[in-house]
Structures are given as structure tokens and as C-alpha cells.
Structure 1
Amino acid sequence: MTKFLENSSQGNNKWYIYMVSFFFMLGGNVIGSIPLIVAMFYFNSDMNFESASIEGRPTLTLALMLLTFIATLGMLLIAIKYLHKKRLNDVLTGRPSFDWSRMFYGIKIWFAVMAVSSVISVIISPEDVELIFDLGKFVPLFFVVILMVPIQAATEEVIFRAYYMQGMTMISRNRWLPLLVTSIIFGLLHIGNPEVEEFGVAIMMPQYISMGLFFGIMTLMDDGSELAIGMHAINNVFLALFFTHDSSALKTDAVFRIKEVNPEYEMIFMLIQFTIVLFILSRKYKWKDWSRLYAKVIMPKEPEAIEEL
């Protein structure tokens, strides 16, 4: 018996509440952007704001950018508690309480996958990697990344793989449509990333959408978002600390700079990683009923949310 999607029937779920919560999050994003905008006016000598960065201060830029996610998450939590009148735990997981051990296992396994993949990439193309480690710059970056990047990743997971996936379930009454739609939206919201401008929509959008599907499949099969939150967090932490490149959305004072990026190779490698990890997780957590990805959702009670639009 799964409970994660079925939990969507809890609380006040009228369709317009989801619309109001969207504007709550949008307002949080705007408020959280104010410190970055002020800093750009203060530090940027040429008043060029196209890159949304602070000249010569990548770590400060990163910290202020991450504030927008913290503010967005805060507004969503307010909406969940006071508008939906839901428990946060019921939005995050189908278990009685959030399973921290699962989240930390997700961190461990995805860290191992990324570490091995990085070593292989360096061995194959050592000429594409440049050591740029600077202790004085890395230390403040380390604390910003460790403290703030997991919140950024968790924010995306709570929004897409929990809150809106549950909300869409009450309309679709199945599992595959919320999985597909939230993954596509997750991908489209990254369309403004520098990587898309550099390499093109055709190659980058499938990467973002595939990552959304990967996290969504884990969430549905495991009946909760713990694994996805852990993996998403360590994915972004690892990249921010160890690798940067000129077209990266997270330009940081990392340990290495990648000179040349092959997006086609990365796409193939990423799909192989996803397949291996899903296989390992399916064995560890005994995922046998793969109908969780497409079966009809039976609500424990008729939700009051489904009103005619």
C-alpha cells in the first residue's frame, strides 16, 4: 500500500489554493532577489546586469542567488500549513515521518556515482580539466555550498516531486501524468540557464527533463521524496565544489575548471548513471511493483479540492 500520492487528499485542496501558493512562491522569489539586486548596483561598475552576477565575487553571487530559494521555500511552507492546512510530512513522504536514513543513503550513493564518473572523465580527457584550487577562495565557497545549496535542491524537490505532483494527482487520478508534466516543467524552468544558450535547447532540455524523470521515478517507487532530495542536494553540492566551467549556471571558485564540455557525451553518461542507480535502489528497497509509475490512484476519501474550473 502506497500513501505518498494518496496523501494529496489531506487538508484544503481547492484548485485556487494551488494558484495562490504559486504567487506566494513567486513573491518569495522576488523578495529573496532584492539583496542580489542591491549588491549588483553596489559592486558592478559598468551597471551591466545581464548576467545577474557580481563582478569578481562568484561566492557572494552564489550566496545571494541561493537566498531566493530559501525565501521561496519559506513562502511555500506557509502556504502548506496555513492555506492547505496540511502537515509538511504528508507532502514529503508516505511514511509516518521523514526517513532521514533514506535521504543520507541517496547522498552516499549519488556521491559515489559522481566521484567515479569524474575520475573516469579525467582519465579519458585529462586535457579538458584544469586545476584552479585556491584555498582562500575555496573555504568561503565550501561553507556557502554546504549550508545553502542543499536548501536550494530541497526547494526544487518539494515543489516539483512533492507539492505539485500531489496536486496534479487529484486531477489526473493516475501517476504517469503528474510524473511527466512536473518533469517537463522542471526542465523548462531551466531554459534560462547559460548551458542552454551555449549548447542549445535540443541537447540541454532532454538532460533537465531526464533528471526530473529520474527524481520523479524514485519518488513514486519509494513512496516519498527522501531519496530524491538527498541525491539532488549532493549533485549540486558536488558540482559547485569540484567543477565549474564558463557556461555553468553555478560559476564558482571550484577545485577544477572544465575547459571543454561535450553535452552529447554527458547525456549518454547521465542516462547510464540513472539506470545503474535505479537498479541498485530497486534491489535495496525491494521495488517490485513498477505499476506505481502508471497505475490509477485510489484516494482514501473524495477530496474536496476537485471543483469544476
Structure 2
Amino acid sequence: MNYIQQAYKGENEPWKIVLTLILVSGLFVGNIIYFMFFGDGIDVIEEQKKLLEMIPSKNFWLAINLLPFVILLGLLFLLVKSLHKRSLLSLTTARPKVDWSRVAFSFLLIVITALVLFGISYYSDPSLVELQFNPLKFTILLIISLLMFPLQIGLEEYLFRGYLMQQVGILVKNKWFPLILTSVLFGLLHGANPEVAEIGSIIMVYYIGTGLLLGIMTLMDDGLELALGFHFGNNLLAATLVTAKWSALQTDAAFVYTAEEASTQISEIVLPVLIIYPILLFILAKKYKWTNWKDKLFGKVKAPPKENYKIIE
């Protein structure tokens, strides 16, 4: 059974799917709808500054922002286990057990790539960023990031590339539609971020492109392991390496962008999607010997024989 077919191991009555999506993603959907219809008069960055002035520290603000993800991930796992009668393994991978080496490799791949790109950018023009390293604040930030970001990215991966991709896949009986749908929805999820207000809609290319990359990883590798490692490495560095006044993650990172506006960083939005991401996919494809791309990404989803529905614990 491939990754999407893992959904057949559980109970998939429509009301259970709708209830799960409402309970787990209702907060995000409501937030998106609010900003779509009522967000024109709201200065997201200014509102964020006001909130930061009211709280003890940026690290506290980060922890508070990540807490809902922790709660919702636990809720998703509970609903999958109790409502859908499925194992969490079937939501994670088509393999007999989770391959943590894949998580580690993908994590290291994006971390090394990002650090190299940052080093090149810093060497080319050091004036773009300014060192603001504070040992105590950075240590607290690192601890919070290591504890909570795995749960934050876990919710996004298990909800989009996991639950939603699997459920939509067995509904429409193909793989390309859930891949595109979850990528677009993943991008829209980030539509209320301050970066969108500052940079403009061009940043949606990065968000949707990243969702597409993670979706391709999941389908080609028949599991979430690579997507989990990549997403964690990406968010960890986004919080600890460089921050900006217009960033969604206001943290005590080691560096801060000196530019008051984000327009100078547009090249950094398009470059990863068009050049870096294909290179990373090529590396992963070679390492894990991916083949049959057409069927993996565009093939049909068929119900497996009943004897294969048994959950592997």
C-alpha cells in the first residue's frame, strides 16, 4: 500500500472527516477568512509591534504563538486514533516503522543549504544584516525552538501532507489533485503573515512552492519523514538565524535584517522555488532511488484488498 492508501486502514465516513477538519483547522480557516474580508484596514506589522510591547519578551511571544499548534496536533492525533480508528503510523508513513534517519537527513540537508546560502549572502553584502546575538536570550530561544517547533511543523505536516492529502486522495482517486490542493491551502494558511502585507502577494509563490516541494517529497517517498525534517530545519533557522522587523517570527535571532522594507529580499523568495528546491529534490531522488515519478505524482488511487486494511501498530 502506498502512502495515500494508508487512509483505507481507518474509518472514513464523511461526517468524521468534516468534524476532524473543522475541529483541527477551524482556527486557521477563520483567521484566513477574517483577513480576506476584513483585513484591508489592518496594519499587521503595526499591530504586531503593539502586541510585542505588551508582553515580557520575544521568546515568551514565540512560545505563546506556538502553543495552539501543540494543542491542535494533540487533538488531530486523538481524532485519528479514536474517531477514525487508525494508527498514527498510518498517518506518518507507508513503511513498517518511522524512518528517523530520513527525518535527520532532510533536516541536515536544508540546514546546511540555508547556512551556505546565508554565508554567501553575508559575504557578498554584510550590510544587509546586523549581528544582535545575546547569549542568554538566544539560548532561551533555542530551547523553545527545539521543544515547540517539532510540534508546530508536526501539525502542519500531519494536517496537510498527512490527513488532508490522504483523505482527499481516496475521495478523488488520484494523487495530483490532493498534491495541488494541499500546496495551495498550505500557502493560504500563511496568508495572514506580516510578510504578505510587507512584501506583497509575490511571497505566496514561496509559500505554495514550499508546500508543493513538501508534497512531492511525501508522495515520492511514501511518507512524511522527509517533509517533517525539512520543515523543522527551515523553521528552526527562520527563528534562530535571521529575523526582521516585518517577519512573522519576531525573535532574538543571531542576526537581524537592517532593511526597513522587505522589497530587497524578493530574489530570496523566487530563487529557492525555481532553483534550490529542484536541486534538493534531485539530491533526495538520487539518495532514495526514487523512480516512476509519473505514477507516484499523477497515478490513480485504488482501494487495496481488504486484507491489507489491517493497521500496522
TM-score normalised per structure 2: 0.86
Percent of aligned pairs with the same residue?
A: 40
2:43 equivalent in structure 1:
none
- Counterpart residue type for residue 280 of structure 2: V
**CA drift at 1:183:** 0.5
2:58 equivalent in structure 1:
58
**CA drift at 1:180:** 0.1
Q: Following the alignment from structure 2 to structure 1, what is the Cα–Cα distance between the partners of residues 16 and 152?
A: 23
**CA drift at 1:248:** 0.7
Q: Following the alignment from structure 1 to structure 2, what is the Cα–Cα distance between the partners of residues 177 and 91?
A: 19
Partner-residue secondary structure (3-state), 2:142? helix
1:7 equivalent in structure 2:
6
Q: Following the alignment from structure 1 to structure 2, what is the Cα–Cα distance between the partners of residues 231 and 125?
A: 27
2:277 is equivalent to residue 274 of structure 1: yes
- Counterpart residue type for residue 252 of structure 2: D
1:126 equivalent in structure 2:
126
**CA drift at 1:87:** 0.5
Partner-residue secondary structure (3-state), 2:256? strand
Q: Following the alignment from structure 2 to structure 1, what is the Cα–Cα distance between the partners of residues 151 and 120?
A: 29
**CA drift at 1:94:** 0.7
Contiguous gaps of at least 5 residues in structure 2: 29-45, 307-313
Which deviations, in whole Å up to 9, do the C-alpha atoms of 1:14-60 show, x marking residues without a partner? Answer: 1111111123225788xxxxxxxxxxxxxxxxxxx942834251100
- Counterpart residue type for residue 278 of structure 1: L
Is the 2:205–2:270 contact (alpha carbons within 8 Å) kept by the matching residues of 1?
no
Structure 1 runs of 4+ with >4 Å offset? 26-29
The 10-residue stretch of structure 1 (273-282 or 135-144) with the greater mean CA deviation from structure 2: 135-144
**CA drift at 1:210:** 0.2
Contiguous gaps of at least 5 residues in structure 1: 30-48, 303-309
The 10-residue stretch of structure 1 (210-219 or 261-270) with the greater mean CA deviation from structure 2: 261-270
Is the 1:130–1:258 contact (alpha carbons within 8 Å) kept by the matching residues of 2?
yes
Q: Following the alignment from structure 2 to structure 1, what is the Cα–Cα distance between the partners of residues 293 and 303?
A: 19
Is the 1:17–1:83 contact (alpha carbons within 8 Å) kept by the matching residues of 2?
yes
Q: Following the alignment from structure 1 to structure 2, what is the Cα–Cα distance between the partners of residues 71 and 27?
A: 13
2:17 is equivalent to residue 18 of structure 1: yes
**CA drift at 1:242:** 0.9
RMSD over aligned Cα, in angstroms?
Answer: 2.0
TM-score normalised per structure 1: 0.87
Partner-residue secondary structure (3-state), 2:86? coil
**CA drift at 1:259:** 1.9
Q: Counterparts of 1:27-46 in structure 2 under 5 Å?
A: none
Q: Counterparts of 1:265-304 in structure 2 under 5 Å?
A: 265-271=267-273, 272-291=275-294, 292-301=296-305
Q: Following the alignment from structure 2 to structure 1, what is the Cα–Cα distance between the partners of residues 198 and 27?
A: 29
**CA drift at 1:263:** 3.8
Aligned residue pairs: how many? 283
